[in-house]
Every structure is written in C-alpha cells, then in structure tokens.
Amino acid sequence: NAGVTQTPKFRILKIGQSMTLQCTQDMNHNYMYWYRQDPGMGLKLIYYSVGAGITDKGEVPNGYNVSRSTTEDFPLRLELAAPSQTSVYFCASSYSQVIRDFGPGTRLTVT
Amino acid sequence: DAKTTQPPSMDCAEGRAANLPCNHSTISGNEYVYWYRQIHSQGPQYIIHGLKNNETNEMASLIITEDRKSSTLILPHATLRDTAVYYCIVTSSGTATDSWGKLQFGAGTQVVVTP
C-alpha cells in the first residue's frame, strides 16, 4: 500500500490565484481529513469526510472547499489564495476513530 | 473535547526512558487519550491511545491515572530518532461516526534526545 499520498509537495501561489491540493489513499478508508499547520503551531482541522459524497466543515474551513466523489480521493480547493493560507497542509484517512495514516504534507506559500 | 496541558519542551538522554506528562483535568467519561508525534516537517505519526486502562504497544506505554485527569507517555529506551514534537489529545469517541478523527492538536512537547 502507498498509504496516503499528497501532491504537490511544494507550491508557491500569488495572491488571488487558485489551486487544488490532491490527496489519495489506497486503504479503502471511509474517513478522510484535511488539516493545516502554521509555523510552530499544532494542526487544525479544515474539512473532513465520512464517505463518498459526504463532507463537513472542521475548525477552520473559510477560504477552502472540498469534494469527495470517490472513496480514494479527497481534494482540497483554495479559491483566491491569501497570505494567511501560507501553511503546511496534511491529509489523513482512517477506517475507525483512530487516525493512523497521515500524508507527507504539502507546503504552500502565498505571496 | 477536554483541553490538555503539556510542558513545551523536555530533554532526554539516549537509551533512557522518556516520560512525557499530560494534564487533562476536564476529561469526561467517554473521552480517549491519544498520543501522536511529529518529526520535523513530516506528517504526524500515531503512537498509542487509551480510555482508562494502561496500554502498551511496540512504540510506547501509556499510563492513565485512576481519576483520568492526567497521563504519561513512556518511551522505554529513547533513541535519537525519537526527537520530535509529541501531542497529547483528548477527544470523544462519539456515538456518531461523524465525530471520529476530529483531533484538536495543541502545541505539544518538543522532545530532544541527546547522545
């Protein structure tokens, strides 16, 4: 199993640009999550999904959108990027209440 | 979910046991204690979790006090590769599956293992 994979690893955006962060898992997990981590801080939940077609907001959803058309994929969309969205983004998945699988992260800089 | 309090940093000598404390005095009956760690720039790594009994796995042991208001993560023989930020998280298992996995990460404890 490849586990949770994220692309791209790094990205620099200009203010106002848009992009999609990709997340894929090959473990047939129903639950998927997006977190962001600002420098020196802990992770904060952006959005999560309990299955294909079902998504819900986490702690910090503003400025982001998600979709879950398949079990494997959970892309995170940034519209109108802002400097405040400079962060490291982690995707995770689980089959139960315990998240054991995190992706390697996408480091995003908005200038 | 109950909040947790951890020391911001601690040092440990290589080969010795590392005991990481976590205070969660407002924990409620259905809340679990989870521990994760994050090695620099990598994704978080699950270590262990428990409800009220002590737990042990190949990575660590989790000791939860009888009143459940605090816990200690024990790394039995710390190595240089255990240098990381360790997060103690308390969260409800929830009766509805839509509460699963909604972990609230704080600042954690920066553990530095020295030779």
pLDDT digits (tens, 9 = 90+) for A6-18: 999 999 999 999 9
CA distances from A90 to A37, B11, B75 (A): 8, 27, 25
> Is residue B2 pLDDT above 90, yes or no?
no
Pairing outcome for strands B31-38 and B18-23: unpaired
> Is residue B66 pLDDT above 80, yes or no?
yes
- Contact check, Cβ <8 Å, B108/A42: yes
CB neighbours of residue A82 within 10 Å: 14
**From start to end of chain A, where are the E strands?**
4-7, 10-13, 19-25, 31-37, 43-51, 54-57, 64-66, 76-78, 87-94, 101-102, 106-110
pLDDT tens digits, A69-107: 999 999 999 999 999 999 999 999 998 878 889 999 999
Distance CA B8, CA B114 (A): 17
Rounded (5°) CA angle A30-A8-A21:
50
Tell me the average pLDDT across B33-62.
94
> Is residue B113 pLDDT above 60, yes or no?
yes
- Contact check, Cβ <8 Å, A50/B98: yes
> Is residue B102 pLDDT above 80, yes or no?
no
> Is residue A40 pLDDT above 70, yes or no?
yes
Do A76 and A89 touch, CB atoms closer than 8 A?
yes
- Label residue B94 by pLDDT band (50, 70, 90): low
> Is residue A110 pLDDT above 60, yes or no?
yes
- Contact check, Cβ <8 Å, B103/A43: yes
DSSP letter assigned to residue B43: P
- Closest Cβ–Cβ partner in B41, B43, B108 for A102: B43
Tokens standing for residue A26: 């090959």
- Label residue A42 by pLDDT band (50, 70, 90): confident
CB neighbours of residue A45 within 10 Å: 20
> Is residue B54 pLDDT above 80, yes or no?
yes
Residues of A in contact with B94 (CB under 8 A): 97
Supply the pLDDT for residue A104: 96
Supply the pLDDT for residue B63: 98
Given CB atoms, is B45 within the 8 Å cutoff of chain A? yes
- Label residue A66 by pLDDT band (50, 70, 90): very high
Residues of A in contact with B41 (CB under 8 A): 88, 105
Query: Checking phi first, is residue B66 left (phi over 0); if not, alpha (psi -120 to 50) or beta?
Result: alpha
Supply the pLDDT for residue B97: 52
**How far is the alpha carbon of B67 from chain A, nearest alpha carbon, in Å?**
23
The contacts of residue A95 (CB under 8 Å, 6+ apart) are A27, A28, A29, A30, A31
Supply the pLDDT for residue B98: 54
**Gap between the terminal Cα atoms of chain A:** 36
Do A5 and B62 touch, CB atoms closer than 8 A?
no
Supply the pLDDT for residue B45: 95
Given CB atoms, is B104 within the 8 Å cutoff of chain A? yes
> Is residue B68 pLDDT above 60, yes or no?
yes
